[in-house]
Structure 1
Amino acid sequence: MGNHSHHHDYNFSEQFTFTGKARVLSLVALAVGVVAIAIGLLSSDHIIVERTYANLLLMGYYFTCVCMAGGFFLAIQYVTQSGWSSGMIRIPQAMASVLPIAALILLLITVVGLFSHNLYHHWYGEGLTDPNSPNYDALVAGKSAFLNAPGFLIRQVVFMGAYSICSWLLARYSYNEDLDGGLYSYKRSFKLSALFLVIFGFTTPIWAFDTIMSLEAHWFSTMFGWYNFAAMWVSGLCVITLIIILLKKAGYMAWINENHLHDLGKLIFGFSIFWTYVWFAQFMLIWYANIPEETVYFYKRWEPEYKPWFWINVVINFVAPVLILVNRDFVRNSRILAFVCILLLLGHWLDYYIMIMPGTVEVHRGFGWIEVGTALGFVGLFSFLVFNKLSKHALAPAKHPFLEESLHHQI
């Protein structure tokens, strides 16, 4: 596992320069988002304010999930001692490094959303748990041991804090490895990754229950956590793949070839099927059992305004990747792979939209400037922070013990 000498023509000290069009575009998108969000929040129309809060939650959650997937990717590579991915590790590291910022933004959105009664009003409202109140809700009162404001906020802080610290440290250890060499940082990364995966595995379903499922507090599904995990993981893999393709197009990372992209494509293919399996199992069991308190969730999503999106969601996130990525030549074609990644990122935005909107926005159907503006703003923010982080270090982990294996990766 020692460091090999690299007899290649690759420039392992190359650094990404974040200037020009990429920087300008990310800042313009961010500015558009800030303006759209500000107009939405300051509107005198209650429905527009409600929609803006719902979109902030959607994009804040999506942003955090994608950064979290970067940390999860790193932890898996370390625990499985994978060599194939070591040449591309800087990309998920940049995403993982941005997670503390994403988590803070999401925490702010959930706190404001909780106390302004715009988001979590199904379980956090006056008199909901008081038997003497006209607003008393027996179902919510029954869940109040878990669904209460202090518990909710403590879990948000503890879970996202733990994910952020572990993800940030994994990136930090790798940057230190380039300075110090040897196996000290790698061994620390291995131990931390094992701990992180245990914390992550046990707590992400609960985090998804809190942040998204409690928007409709009467309903629950034990599969919801894994359904959210699958969406997070596929989205994160798509972002990693897309950034690699963009960097290669710009002339960087010559040591990454179609074999690496093929492996990423296979992961996207496999986990898109896993996402569909969980989505279908959750839907099928509830539809088949036909228990009123369970079907209420899907009943809302079968209203004429949502129903087309409900089915388009499955077509984009399952049918498209399966039909395209089943072909070996397509997976090894960076243009087709980039197309699938963009399609899936839009598809999982739609997935989160269908999870969040019916429970938070009473009188709104369809898409408009709030949805587009908020999404653009967060894409701009994510791009700016991640590419800025990427530009701070060499694009290759030159002293990674398995780098040689990545250079010779062939399938």
Structure 2
Amino acid sequence: MYTFSKRLKTFAMILMILGLIGIVYGFISAPKTVNDVERILTEQHHGGAHDVAADAGHHAEVSAAEHAEHQHHLEHVLQQMQNKPWAALYIACIFFMLISLGVLAFYAIQYAAQAGWSPVLFRVMEGITAYLLPGSLIFFVLLVLSSMNLNHLFIWMDPEVVANDPIIQAKTGFLNVPFFLIRAVVFLAGWNLYRHYAVKNSRALDETNDLKFYKKNFKLSAAFLVFFIVTESMMSWDWIMSIDTHWYSTLFGWYVFASFFVTGITIIAFTTLYLKSKGLLEYVNTSHIHDLAKFMFGISIFWTYLWFSQFMLMWYSNIPEEVTYFIFRIQEYKLPFFGMLVLNFVLPLLLLINTDFKRLTWIIVMAGSLIVVGHYLDFFNMIAPGTVGGSWFIGVSEIASLLFFAGLFIFVVFTALTKAPLLAKGNPLIEESKHFHY
């Protein structure tokens, strides 16, 4: 049995406390009025009280129309700046929740495929997926708060915007708050129910050695994967793509899936290597680690293929309502936009292409760290432009939100690992997995 060490538990608690302090600071320090915004913008562009006075004199001379346009611009920037702590919280929340969902999908694939190499890793996967429930609850609360107009993450939830936007009006049959929240309940409940019954059957299989529980999980996993592939696509439309309400992509669901799937597999590798370093998981060998690294490598290539397909086809066709999505990101988010390509494709390709490198712990940790950071930036690129526009920077709110959810993730996952032996001894393929070598 695994014991959650005091040092790791304290580390997780410190991350959560620091994260909460930073999150609160982010909300408190957000501008409250257009005057606050004007002062911030003046300091950014000029940097002094003398220039503020000069600007005040200039504004006295402008026409009423120009003044109204200026006020509208300030109100728009105010909305973006007030969105910033909300967006930071939302991005970190959905990122960690989808990591656990990616691991759950990987777990279901192993059962449905009757894979012989992976059962020694099942308890690790079950531990990581334990985060799905608390992550889902926090995420749903964020969705409800958004629907109550406490933020402006989803412009289609604003009646004033919808009233003046024919494109959004045409989408209100799907994009309306009641249907949106009902879909969220269905998605989150379905994923968590599968996780609950799959783990329950897995533990019962250990206790009884009755293969009926294995057969139940086989059927349950096959059914879940059908449910998952539909709901995952719809989830990506609802929770990410609808932020940029005018834009759409027909392969967006696959793109989002590849992003959190490879990150989830990377977290399996990290957790496995950590437990191995503590003298646990005695039957996990370099061949198991090599297979995890192969998935990290392969899904990174798959993600890049989807990114390129989405980007190049839209760029080549040059349809205004499609290509503006990328133009804005290239102009305003140049560093994270191109940086994530290096982190998610170029560096993992170079580090993991060699077969021998896939068995080296330090290489996997290095490549995996790049993948995790790169895919956080991927989610940042998908969500921040539509919520904070050009008023972005990765500051206290973003780092604090990451710290809080990382701490919560570690606390929940490693607490769950203490609930059962780390070897799924009742699985009929466990002996094949124990002796897996090539």
Bin the TM-score by the shorter chain: over 0.9
Counterpart in the other structure of 2:14:
28
For 1:370, the aligned partner's letter is S
Tell me the alpha carbon deviations over residues 244-290 of structure 1, each in whole angstroms, 9 at most, x when there is no partner.
00111111111101000000110111100000001110000110011
Identity %: 38
For 1:45, the aligned partner's letter is P
1:170 Cα deviation after fit: 1.1
Query: Which among 82, 86, 96 is matched to residue 53 of structure 1?
Result: 86
Counterpart in the other structure of 2:317:
289
| Counterpart Cα distance in 1 of 2:152 and 2:30 | 18
Query: Which among 373, 377, 382 is matched to residue 346 of structure 1?
Result: 373
| Counterpart Cα distance in 2 of 1:69 and 1:121 | 25
Counterpart in the other structure of 1:4:
none
Counterpart in the other structure of 1:6:
none
Q: Aligned with 1:399: secondary structure?
A: coil
Query: Normalised by the size of structure 2, how large is the TM-score?
Result: 0.87
| Counterpart Cα distance in 2 of 1:129 and 1:364 | 23
| Counterpart Cα distance in 2 of 1:270 and 1:31 | 37
Rate the CA distance shift 1:121–1:271 in 2: closer, same or farther, 3 A: closer
Deviation above 3 Å: which 4+ runs of structure 1? 46-49, 127-130
**Residue pairs, 1:94-243, within 5 angstroms:** 94-116=127-149, 118-130=151-163, 136-243=164-271
- Between Structure 1 and Structure 2, which shows a larger proportion of helix residues? 2
| Counterpart Cα distance in 2 of 1:120 and 1:190 | 39
| Counterpart Cα distance in 1 of 2:348 and 2:389 | 33
Contact 1:177/1:186 (8 A) holds in 2: yes
* Alignment pair present for 1:37 and 2:64: no
Structure of higher CA gyration radius? 2
Tell me the alpha carbon deviations over residues 304-328 of structure 1, each in whole angstroms, 9 at most, x when there is no partner.
x411221111111011111111111
* Alignment pair present for 1:86 and 2:116: no
Tell me the alpha carbon deviations over residues 197-235 of structure 1, each in whole angstroms, 9 at most, x when there is no partner.
000011211101100111110111111111000001001
Contact 1:66/1:235 (8 A) holds in 2: yes
Structure 1 segments unaligned to the other structure (5+ residues):
1-14, 131-135
Contact 1:177/1:185 (8 A) holds in 2: yes
Structure 2 segments unaligned to the other structure (5+ residues):
33-79
Tell me the alpha carbon deviations over residues 55-89 of structure 1, each in whole angstroms, 9 at most, x when there is no partner.
11111111111111121111101111011100011
For 2:414, the aligned partner's letter is F
| Counterpart Cα distance in 1 of 2:410 and 2:166 | 45
Contact 1:68/1:96 (8 A) holds in 2: yes
1:300 Cα deviation after fit: 1.2
| Counterpart Cα distance in 1 of 2:181 and 2:98 | 18
Tell me the alpha carbon deviations over residues 95-120 of structure 1, each in whole angstroms, 9 at most, x when there is no partner.
22321211111111121123225244
Contact 1:53/1:113 (8 A) holds in 2: no
Counterpart in the other structure of 1:8:
none
Tell me the alpha carbon deviations over residues 14-59 of structure 1, each in whole angstroms, 9 at most, x when there is no partner.
x111022111111100111111112223345255542111011111
For 1:79, the aligned partner's letter is A
| Counterpart Cα distance in 2 of 1:227 and 1:343 | 18
Tell me the alpha carbon deviations over residues 329-354 of structure 1, each in whole angstroms, 9 at most, x when there is no partner.
11011111111111100110010011
1:390 Cα deviation after fit: 0.3
1:363 Cα deviation after fit: 4.7
* Alignment pair present for 1:19 and 2:47: no
Query: Which among 355, 364, 381 is matched to residue 337 of structure 1?
Result: 364
Counterpart in the other structure of 2:386:
359
Contact 1:117/1:124 (8 A) holds in 2: no
Query: Normalised by the size of structure 1, how large is the TM-score?
Result: 0.92
Q: Aligned with 1:409: secondary structure?
A: coil
Q: Aligned with 1:42: secondary structure?
A: helix
Counterpart in the other structure of 1:307:
334
